[in-house]
Amino acid sequence: MNRTFDFKETWLHKVNPSVKLIWLVALFIAVLFIQNPSFLLNFTFMLTVLLFCFSGHPAKRIWWITFPFLLISFSTATSMIFFGKGEELWFHWGLISITKESFYRGFHIGLRAFTFSVLGLLFSLTTRPVFLFYSLMQQLKLKPKYAYSFMAGIRLIPIMISEFQIIRSALKVRGVQKKSGLKGFYQTIKTYSVSLLSQSIRRAHRIAIAMEAKRFSAVQQRTYYYETTFSKFDILFVLSFLIILPIAYEIGMHLPYFPVTDVRG
């Protein structure tokens, strides 16, 4: 099984993965302290534009990847809007009580959740896992035995999915019928998990022996198949956010979309 998605390589793909990871984690933390919904809305909009225009993936694919996160953000926002507390009541019906404070807090929390998902997608859709681990080894000095172990684990996922499909096809050929109810569910889990786990343990054991044979844990100075370095695209990446953040803040402060500037008040 080898499913890959075609995409166009952009300048975001050329940014050093370690720089991208550290900077996006910093943005994750910064977003937690943004309390102005207008500012956060502007920032989220600019991030979304960056994702759709420079991730190198078709807009339709990005939309379908983003859609589940949009639903999660919406459900998070509605929970706070419908059942939050506040003083200025807007609507009340049964258990549902919408106040001015709960509405803006719910909207802000949902928007913040969506911002996190956009930041995550911006990283995952423009970063190859192999380059990330090579960069962690070379720039952040992560020990090779950990980096190669993670890479081997990622490589095993498609193999496990392929084995799952083979087991399912084999059961169909043999005419094995699925039993209904809780007992049938337990039997199905047992049938698949025993086979998959036994194969995975054997494969992991062979990989561990191979890594030990190649002295992954003993050699301090080593060469790498991929060389990752810093480049002008790293500066461009950081600068783009240093430009986006002040613009989003200024627009949010001088042309606010909402009458509140701090959802905590």
DSSP 101: H
Instruction: For helices 232-254 and 17-32, give the axis angle rounded to 10 degrees.
Output: 20
pLDDT tens-digit map of 44-63:
999 999 999 999 999 999 99
Q: What is the mean pLDDT of residues 244-251?
A: 93
108 residue type, one letter: H
Question: What does residue 92 show for φ and ψ, rounded to 5 degrees?
Answer: -145, 130
pLDDT tens-digit map of 203-219:
888 888 887 777 766 66
Terminal alpha carbon distance of the chain: 53
- C-alpha 93/C-alpha 97 separation (Å) is 6
Tokens of 128: 């190859």
- C-alpha 100/C-alpha 86 separation (Å) is 7
**Strand ranges (DSSP E) for the chain?**
89-93, 96-99
Tokens of 191: 């049938």
- C-alpha 13/C-alpha 234 separation (Å) is 10
pLDDT tens-digit map of 92-147:
888 888 888 889 999 999 999 999 999 999 999 999 888 998 898 888 888 887 88
